[in-house]
Amino acid sequence: MNVMTTNDSAEFSTPPDNGGSTSKLAPVRKRHEAILKIVQAQGFVTIESLAQQFSVTPQTIRRDINTLDTSGHLRRHHGGAAMPTSTENVAYTQRKVMCLREKHQIARMVATQIPNHASLFINIGTTTEEIAKCLCNHVRLRIITNNLNVASILAGNDNFEVIVAGGLVRPRDGGIVGPLTIDFIEQFRVDYGIIGISGIDLDGTLLDFDYREVRAARAIIDNSRKVFLAADHTKFGRNAMVRLGGISEIDALFTDRPLQDPLAEVLAATDVDLHVAPETHKKSWNRSQ
């Protein structure tokens, strides 16, 4: 498995608190990871207690919590934070702008792996929509999708054949779901299935919020010769209620940051290829080394 990686020092957009000794020693990203572990262990944590533990101001912790709430990792509450519900996703309008730079990087990387004249499924998701944009310069693709936004993006290329699945259209994001969608997808056998996901549990379980969307993604996995999963780093360890399957069922994972344990160990035990965006991770290494 070839991996593009580096010792990345990129941080969350929340600025560090210059008055706290802990924030001077650790990047904001590491503080966010530590906050998540504390909330996971305790269920609910107050802003005051977190500020004391990290030796930063309450204002800094509020910014941290706001960032983690926006990414869907935590839920902000009056005076503190708790783990998010596993039944509700972040609104589509928010998801479209979250980690947009990272999604661009992932999308460009996926597009390089798709040859001209290929057939492919593309499912629901803001990351898959970015991938669709990066495929627009390809030649003679045949695309089957249950995402109206993807269909709209790709329809501008007059040498593509874009096939839209039937079913129920979700007004909030243009996704098409339901029994008709499954029946339609199952009529095809394509070269590549490109899917997004709401969460990847640390044991490698692929998770989403809508069981109807999961059924469509399941049909895509079952009817693709190769399956590419595109997921930015905010999906790792994220909670959702509906199980799609295991990470070993995909052929390649495309993301923007190297995986951390225990998920890295889970992936290392599979035959899944890991691709980390080269724009931020330029050192190449091989799993066999």
Domains (range + CATH), the chain: 21-82 (1.10.10.10), 93-286 (3.40.50.1360)
pTM across the whole model: 0.74
Classify 247 as helix, strand or coil: helix
How far apart CA 236 and CA 198 sit, in angstroms, is 9
pLDDT digits (tens, 9 = 90+) for 164-205: 999 999 998 999 999 999 999 999 999 999 999 999 998 999
pLDDT digits (tens, 9 = 90+) for 57-93: 999 999 999 988 887 788 787 788 877 766 566 676 7
Q: Are strands 205-208 and 242-246 parallel, antiparallel or unpaired?
A: antiparallel
Radius of gyration of the chain (CA): 20
Find out whether 39 and 83 touch, Cβ atoms under 8 Å: yes
Q: At what angle do helices 126-134 and 100-112 cross, to 10 degrees?
A: 50
Closest by CA position to 149, among listed 167, 170, 179, 180: 170
Cα pseudo-dihedral 136, 137, 143, 145, rounded to 10: -20
Q: Tokens 């936004």 — which residue?
A: 149
Give the distance, in angstroms, between the CA of residue 84 and the centroid of all CA atoms in the same chain.
17
How far apart CA 163 and CA 70 sit, in angstroms, is 33
pLDDT digits (tens, 9 = 90+) for 97-148: 778 899 999 999 999 999 999 999 999 999 999 999 999 999 999 999 999 9
Q: At what angle do helices 28-42 and 58-70 cross, to 10 degrees?
A: 80
